[in-house]
Amino acid sequence: PDDVMVLALPPTMFGKSVEHITFPGTLTFSGDTLRMVLRDLAASVARSGFTKLVLLGSHGGNVGTTDDYFRDLRMETDLRVFKIFLGGIAQVPGLVAPEEAAIAMHSGDSETSMVRHLAPELVHMDRAEGYVFDSTPDIGYSFKGHDVIEAWVASDLSKTGAIGNPHRSSADKGRLMCEAKAVRLAELLESIYRSPKREIHLAPKETP
């Protein structure tokens, strides 16, 4: 809408990817470095007179760090701080097989489909390979319906870092995924923009 203004900062191109450091070419911040980067950027935003900040991420390795730290940003800067993980919003029913959705993390069906839509020149399906593993009902490697999460690094689950099946991917699926995420992201940002300062009240004294 014309009455909604959202300003985007340049993306922070590096994040916390220590789970991939056994693979050559991995560039990563430590968790402490990423937290300090977020702190300095948030402080700069606050000094500029803004009152709200959205941490928008698409890399699962950053989720734990931002979960751990974004409340600290609220306390240190007095900003209202929100976080959105693109991988978790606007899942299109039926596009990804349940067994794939349960395990895929890197370069599987979803990620490969989206890149085939957005930048097809970067995807060489003749060279694509992915690795899968047998999941268990109770123990998982991310919060995808599991009550117990085991600590992992990418080499525990893959010989290359690719976790999931890229051979299920297609540009058409990627287009549907990207469009759904764009629509939902716009809705969420508008909701944050319009969100008034919270008012709290005493609960009414009612008996059951």
Task: Encode pLDDT of 92-128 as tens digits.
Answer: 999 999 989 888 889 999 999 999 999 999 999 999 9
Is the same domain home to 1 and 83? Answer: yes
Q: Is residue 43 part of a domain?
A: yes
Structural domain of 170: 93-180
User: Phi and psi dihedrals of 150, rounded to 5?
Assistant: -95, 135
Measured between alpha carbons, how far is 103 from 90 in angstroms, rounded to an integer?
18
pTM, two decimals, is: 0.90
Is the same domain home to 5 and 28? Answer: yes
**43-75 as b/e: b if 16+ CB within 10 A:** eebbeeeeeebbbebeebbbbebbeebbeebee
Structurally, how many domains does the chain consist of?
Answer: 2
Is the same domain home to 62 and 109? Answer: no
Query: Which percentage of the chain shows pLDDT scores above 90?
Result: 75
Task: Decide if pLDDT at 5 tops 80.
Answer: yes
